[in-house]
Amino acid sequence: MFTTNKKKLTVIAALCAISSMGIFAYTPDKPQEGFKNLQVLPKDISKDDLDKVMHSFNDALGVKCIFCHVHEGEDFRQGWKMDSDDKPEKNIARHMMRMTMGINATYFNFENSTKPDTIRVVTCNTCHRGIPHPDEKGIAEQLANGGMKTPPPPPPPKN
């Protein structure tokens, strides 16, 4: 009987030790500290989610990062001043984000809809469709050409 209790105590002590090590080794995720000057997007947005949002802008407007963000220097991988507000396009993007969020919140009832698969959300692509400045002429041109503006074909190879 003493041996059985000793085995039980040993197993319980080992489990307690392992549990304690797990508890002390756990470190909760730290909040993102790398993003500065976020005014519309959540301050605790993950890098992956921020990248998805930015890439959706690239696709919807047919632009690259430099359209809204400041870049200095020759190395394109470095020299980005993402928190700079020097380009007016960045504040226009913020205004457009607030506008689409307002339209969606006012006219689309996400929380109480009984048919969420029928909801059409207003996004950047709703108006831009691959062009940075959708105006009446640009949209009419897109519709006449059957939809989204496609980039021109690459030049022929030089001989």
Domains of the chain by residue range: 47-144
State the average pLDDT over residues 129-150: 72
**For the residues 15-28, what does the mean pLDDT come to?**
71
Average pLDDT on 11-20 reads: 75
Residues 6 or more apart whose Cβ sits within 8 Å of residue 131: 61, 62, 138, 142, 149
Q: What is the pLDDT of residues 54-113, one digit of tens each?
A: 999 999 999 999 999 999 988 878 888 989 999 999 999 999 999 988 888 777 766 666
Distance CA 116, CA 108 (A): 10
pLDDT of residue 7: 79
Q: Does the pLDDT of residue 30 top 60, yes or no?
A: no
- Give the predicted TM-score (pTM) of the model: 0.61
Is residue 108 within 8 A of residue 119, CB to CB? The reply is yes
* Cβ 21 vs Cβ 27: under 8 Å: no
Average model confidence (pLDDT) for the chain?
Answer: 79
CATH homologous superfamily of 47-144 equals: Photosynthetic Reaction Center, subunit C, domain 2 (1.10.468.10)
